[in-house]
Chains A and B, each alone.
Chain A
Amino acid sequence: MATSEQTIGRSDTRGNGINLVLWAILLLFLLTAPAYIYTVFAMQLLCFALFACAFNLLLGFTGLLSFGHAAFFGAGAYLAGHAIKVWGLPPLAGILLGTAAAAVLGYVIGWLAIRRQGIYFAMITLALAQIIYFFGLQLPFTGGENGLQGIPRGHLFGFLDLNQPLVMYYFVAAVFLIGFLIIYRTIHSPFGQVLKSIRENEPRALSLGYNVTRFKLIAFIISAALSGLAGATKSVVFQFASLTDLHWQTSGEVILMTLLGGLGTIFGPVVGALTVVSLQHELSSLGSWVQVVIGAIFIVCVLVFRRGIIGELARLLKTSSM
């Protein structure tokens, strides 16, 4: 991985300072975003940022490339949507149910996929996610090609009306922050250190007596659950869940967000998601050219920009804690 060139785990005062500045920027952005960007767009950004951060936990910090993360994002979206719309669950309960469903799915897919390593892992997750895609297309409750439409936003805790754009926004911001904190804590825990050791040198971690398979599986489940949380929240924001959420292109996009922002950095996926989602917005009138542009960014990133935006910034500032 590109990050292996960096110094790891050395906490320097300069790094801490930069870290504080980034946290301040993030919190300021979360609090004030509706003042200068369209609220729905801000919510979309935060959902994808959470999705990318969850993905980064797996690729950036454990070294596992999943090419099927759309399955968790979409499963969260569809199940939360169905629970809220058909079973009449309150929004928070629906979102938690979607998250739990993605975690269970993560357990099953992760358990199967970690039997193989490296490049095979990527192909297996892609193929397994394709099964979930066809479920989304064919199961009776998913609405087939049309997806699940008209999911009501409802009231949070019974009295906060989520149809108010600002109420909805701060709810999404809170969900994002909770997810982000969970990932931050995971990375900085002893558990996270073991994950990094697996990324750097799996045989060595194994020889030190760590149950590598179990660590990988737990990381996979956390990542899947938080991806599901992002998808479930997205389905409440937009009031629909669609096949796009489950499509392999969505899996590809989340890889790009993470790669562009900086693999194995803490704030990178947020920056990457911001860049990619904004770009899609700006170029949406160009039709299929969006795909060409996304593909071209992929190529450039892989060839000359493997550290990503935050990774390059961290290198310039000579710190590892971004």
Chain B
Amino acid sequence: MDVMMRLILAQGMLGLNNGVFYAMLSLGLAVIFGMLNVVNFAHGALYMLGAFVALILSSYLGPWIGLDALHLGFWPALIIAPIVVGCFGMLIERTMLRWLYKFDPIYGLLLTFGIALVLQGLFSNYFNSAGTPYPAQPESLRGVVHLGFMVFPKYRLFAILFSIVVCFLTWFVIERTRLGATLRAGVENPELVQAFGINVPRMITLTFGFGTGLAGLAGVLAAPIYSVSPLMGANIIIVVFAVVVIGGMGSILGAITAGLALGLIEGMTKVFYAPAANTVIFFLMVIVLLIRPAGLFGRQN
């Protein structure tokens, strides 16, 4: 295999690595938007919160509660952080978002923007905005794997596979199970579903909790790869918005596919013209808007 091909494949793998995070975040946004008709601007901040919960569990919680020897590592964090973030999301939905459903959806966007600022500001006060490395990468995932064309960190490969499985499960639950059918029916006709004895407001809360939990999960997965920083959410959320515009927010599969594909393309751009890597997704958004304004997988309403 020639050098160029190796380089492309290597950057492609790294791009795919970013892509799984785009996919998980845009998936969460799509699930929330489908049910609540709210674009959650705080999604990036909740992703950051997930990473910080993992960091706190491993380094700060023990000293805080007087048990210096207590270090909860990666695997407990992978379960606890999404639950914490999901519960926090449900709290937001119950106490604030709920009152805005009868108004223009832009108020939901503005509210969650405010929440994102508060979270980002709070964490910036207590943590270094340049980022703190996550110390508790699991022993079993250290080292590298030989993929033939490159050596790839074992943990990153795990993150890619794990995220794809999570995305697939989410798709499966929503599109192929009875629970998912109820959810989709609740979107189409809330009154009718309510008449069948299903508690629609609770379903909405749980959906928001699930969507934000996905953001928290993405945060934990990202923690060992990128350094944990108060700004990590703000940097990714705008890209994810562009991904959502490209994929169209109506479709679960669209959100996943667009996230993965755009991560790949962003990685490739680093090979061919590195300065454009920051903006390539936004330019692709422009092209999609020109050709197919509703998004690649969206329906024009």
B230 → A minimal CB distance (Å): 8
Asked if A287 is an interface residue, CB under 8 A from chain B, the answer is: yes
> Can you spell out 28 A-B residue pairs with CB atoms less than 8 angstroms apart?
A2-B103, A115-B289, A115-B293, A116-B245, A116-B289, A123-B39, A123-B241, A124-B285, A126-B238, A127-B238, A128-B285, A130-B279, A131-B282, A134-B278, A248-B238, A259-B110, A287-B124, A288-B124, A291-B118, A292-B117, A292-B118, A292-B121, A294-B114, A295-B119, A298-B110, A299-B111, A303-B96, A303-B99
Q: Which residues of A contact B96 (CB under 8 A)?
A: 299, 303
Asked if B105 is an interface residue, CB under 8 A from chain A, the answer is: yes
Task: For the complex, give the distance between the alpha carbons of A118 and B301 in Å.
Answer: 12
B130 → A minimal CB distance (Å): 14
B121, A303: Cβ atoms under 8 Å?
no
A124, B289: Cβ atoms under 8 Å?
yes
Q: Which residues of B contact A49 (CB under 8 A)?
A: none
A295, B121: Cβ atoms under 8 Å?
yes
Q: Which residues of A contact B109 (CB under 8 A)?
A: 65, 119, 122
Q: Rank and list the top 5 A-B pairs by shortest CB-CB distance, nearest first.
A: A298-B114, A295-B117, A291-B121, A295-B118, A292-B121
Task: For the complex, give the distance between the alpha carbons of A222 and B204 in Å.
Answer: 40
- Per-residue B-contact encoding for A32-67, CB less than 8 Å = 1, 0 else: 000000000000000000000000000000000100
- Per-residue A-contact encoding for B271-286, CB less than 8 Å = 1, 0 else: 0000100110011011
Asked if A306 is an interface residue, CB under 8 A from chain B, the answer is: yes
Task: For the complex, give the distance between the alpha carbons of A248 and B120 in Å.
Answer: 14
Task: For the complex, give the distance between the alpha carbons of A295 and B117 in Å.
Answer: 5
Asked if A177 is an interface residue, CB under 8 A from chain B, the answer is: no
Which of B96, B103, B105, B118 has most chain A Cβ within 10 Å?
Answer: B118
Which of A1, A292, A302, A303 has most chain B Cβ within 10 Å?
Answer: A302
Asked if B242 is an interface residue, CB under 8 A from chain A, the answer is: yes
Q: Which residues of B contact A2 (CB under 8 A)?
A: 103
Asked if A296 is an interface residue, CB under 8 A from chain B, the answer is: yes
Asked if A232 is an interface residue, CB under 8 A from chain B, the answer is: no
Interface set, chain A 189-221, CB cutoff 8 A to B: none
- Per-residue A-contact encoding for B248-261, CB less than 8 Å = 1, 0 else: 01000000000000
Given A124-B245, A127-B245 in contact, is the A302-B110 Cβ separation under 8 Å?
yes
Asked if A252 is an interface residue, CB under 8 A from chain B, the answer is: yes
**Contact partner, A298, options B39, B113, B286, Cβ 8 Å:** B113
Majority DSSP secondary structure for residues of B touching A: helix
Asked if A120 is an interface residue, CB under 8 A from chain B, the answer is: yes
A119, B106: Cβ atoms under 8 Å?
yes
A299, B107: Cβ atoms under 8 Å?
no
Q: Which residues of B contact A299 (CB under 8 A)?
A: 96, 111, 114-115, 118
B289, A252: Cβ atoms under 8 Å?
no
Asked if B70 is an interface residue, CB under 8 A from chain A, the answer is: no
B262 → A minimal CB distance (Å): 12
Majority DSSP secondary structure for residues of A touching B: helix
Task: For the complex, give the distance between the alpha carbons of A56 and B224 in Å.
Answer: 43
Asked if B53 is an interface residue, CB under 8 A from chain A, the answer is: no
**Contact partner, B282, options A1, A116, A127, A259, Cβ 8 Å:** A127
Task: For the complex, give the distance between the alpha carbons of A296 and B117 in Å.
Answer: 8
Which of A1, A128, A295, A297 has most chain B Cβ within 10 Å?
Answer: A295
Asked if B140 is an interface residue, CB under 8 A from chain A, the answer is: no
Which chain A residue has the least Cβ–Cβ distance from B286? A112
Asked if B83 is an interface residue, CB under 8 A from chain A, the answer is: no
Q: Which residues of A contact B234 (CB under 8 A)?
A: 248
A120, B99: Cβ atoms under 8 Å?
no
Asked if A255 is an interface residue, CB under 8 A from chain B, the answer is: yes
Q: Which residues of B contact A116 (CB under 8 A)?
A: 245, 289, 293-294
Asked if A7 is an interface residue, CB under 8 A from chain B, the answer is: no
Which of B109, B122, B244 has most chain A Cβ within 10 Å?
Answer: B109
A126 → B minimal CB distance (Å): 6
Asked if B100 is an interface residue, CB under 8 A from chain A, the answer is: yes
B114, A1: Cβ atoms under 8 Å?
no
Which chain B residue has the least Cβ–Cβ distance from A1? B104
Given A119-B106, A288-B125 in contact, is the A130-B117 Cβ separation under 8 Å?
no
Asked if A138 is an interface residue, CB under 8 A from chain B, the answer is: yes
Given A126-B241, A248-B238, A287-B125 in contact, is the A295-B115 Cβ separation under 8 Å?
yes
B241, A134: Cβ atoms under 8 Å?
no
B40 → A minimal CB distance (Å): 11
Task: For the complex, give the distance between the alpha carbons of A123 and B30 in Å.
Answer: 14
